[in-house]
Amino acid sequence: MAYSVPKQGVWKMASRGGPEGENTNIFRLMSWNIDGLDERNTEERTGAACDTIMKLAPDVVFLQEVVPTTHTLLKARLSSKYTIHAANSIGYYTCTLVKNSSESCITTSLVQPFSNTKMGRNLLIVNASYKNMYLSLMNTHLESTGPAAAERLLQFQQALGEMQIQDPDRVVFFGGDTNLRDKEVASMRGLPQGIVDQWEACGADKKTKFTWDTTTNDNLDWQSGSFKPKLRFDRLFQRPAAGHATNLSISSFKLIGKERLPGCQRFPSDHYGIVCDFDILPGEV
C-alpha cells in the first residue's frame, strides 16, 4: 500500500484508487462511530464520512451510531460500492458494509442481542467469503458510560466467547465502539488465547491510541469541569484462522476523521475512526 506525505510532514493513508489501482494483497478494515445522534451538521458530517470511505475504499466497514437519516445518506452514496447490513432501522444502531465484488459472497447476517443491555445494544455478525478468505465480522457498540462498566464487561466477554466458537477456518474480527476503559480490560487479566488487540499488534503507537479525545476534538460540548478525558473507546480484535487457511497479518493502524470540515468547522464525528491494513497470507493450495 502506498502512502503520501503532505507538506506538513504528517503521514496520511493514500486512496487505493478504485479497483484497478488496488493492491489485491491488502485487506483493509475501517471502524467508525459516525455520531448520528448529533443532529447538527448531519449532512456535511455524514457526507465527509462517505467521502473518506470512497477515497480509502476499505473492504469492510464497521459503523456505529447510525440513525435513519444518516442511513439514508449512506445508502445514497455508498450502495453502488457496498452491501450494507444494518442491525436495526429505528433509534441508533450499527451497520456493516462489505465491498461489492465478484470475490465476495455474504453467507449469513444476524443480530445477537446482549441479554443484559439497558441501551438496546447488540452484536451484528456478518459471515462472508472474500478474496479466498472466510470471514466472521462482528460489529458492536457496547454499553456506554462509566456506571455501566459491569454490563459492558459482560458484553465484551460474550463477544469474545462468540469469536472463539467460530469455525477455525474463519478469520474473525470483532470491533467497534466498545466504550472500554483500559482498567476494565486489565481486570480480565488478558484476552483469551488466540485473540489479539490489533492496536497492540501494530506497535501500540500512542499517537493512534485515543479515538475519543476531548482535548483535540470539540464536537462534544464538554461541560464536566476543566478535566477533558481521552480514551481508547474504538477497538478491533482478531482471531486468526487455522494455519492452513488464508490469513491476515496487520501492517498498519491509522486514525481518520481528524480534520475539521470546511463548512461547519467541526469534525465528522466526536470519535476518530480507525482503519487497518492487513497483508493477505495465502493458505495451502
Confidence grade of residue 16 (pLDDT, cut at 50, 70, 90) = low
Q: Which of 38, 59, 169, 177 is catalytic?
A: 177
Looking up cell 497483508, which residue turns up? Answer: 279
pLDDT at 226: 79
Q: How far is it, in rounded angstroms, from Cα 16 to Cα 19?
A: 8
* Number of compact structural domains in the chain: 1
167 is written with which cell numbers? Answer: 469455525
- 79 inside domain: yes
Q: How far is it, in rounded angstroms, from Cα 66 to Cα 273?
A: 14
The pTM for the full model equals 0.92
pLDDT at 224: 73
- 21 inside domain: no
Range of the domain at 159: 26-281
Average pLDDT over residues 6-31: 61
With beta carbons less than 8 A apart as the criterion, state whether 141 and 111 touch: no
Q: What confidence tens digit (pLDDT) does each residue in 139-164 have?
A: 999 999 999 999 999 999 999 999 99
Mean pLDDT value across the chain: 92
pLDDT at 126: 98
Catalytic, 279? Answer no
Average pLDDT over residues 14-40: 80
- 13 inside domain: no
Confidence grade of residue 15 (pLDDT, cut at 50, 70, 90) = low
With beta carbons less than 8 A apart as the criterion, state whether 260 and 267 touch: yes
Confidence grade of residue 36 (pLDDT, cut at 50, 70, 90) = very high
Cross-strand partners of 85: 96
Average pLDDT over residues 178-207: 97
- 15 inside domain: no
Under 8 Å CB-to-CB from 148, ≥6 apart: which residues?
Answer: 118, 119, 179
Q: How far is it, in rounded angstroms, from Cα 94 to Cα 112?
A: 12
- 120 inside domain: yes
Q: Can you give the chain as a three-state secondary structure string?
A: CCEECCCCCCCEECCCCCHHHCCCCEEEEEEEECCCCCCCCHHHHHHHHHHHHHHHCCCEEEEEEECHHHHHHHHHHHCCCEEEEECCCCCCEEEEEEECCCCEEEEEEEEEECCCCCCCCEEEEEEEEECCEEEEEEEEECCCCHHHHHHHHHHHHHHHHHHHCCCCCEEEEEEEECCCCHHHHHCCCCCCCCCEEHHHHCCCCHHHCCCEECCCCCCCCCCCCCCCCEECCEEEEEECCCCCCCEEEEEEEEEECCCCCCCCCCCCCCCCEEEEEEEEECCCC
With beta carbons less than 8 A apart as the criterion, state whether 169 and 242 touch: yes
- 225 inside domain: yes
Q: How far is CA 172 from CA 160, 166, 189, in A?
A: 10, 7, 22
Confidence grade of residue 284 (pLDDT, cut at 50, 70, 90) = confident
Confidence grade of residue 19 (pLDDT, cut at 50, 70, 90) = very low
Strand 133-141 vs strand 122-130: parallel, antiparallel, or unpaired?
antiparallel
Q: What confidence tens digit (pLDDT) does each residue in 186-196 have?
A: 999 999 999 99
CATH of the domain at 97: 3.60.10.10
Confidence grade of residue 14 (pLDDT, cut at 50, 70, 90) = low
Report the share of the chain in percent with pLDDT over 70. Answer: 92
Strand 273-281 vs strand 82-86: parallel, antiparallel, or unpaired?
unpaired
Window from 22-36, 152-166, 214-228 with minimum mean pLDDT: 214-228
pLDDT at 79 exceeding the cut of 60? yes
Higher pLDDT, 8 or 55: 55
- 11 inside domain: no
- 166 inside domain: yes
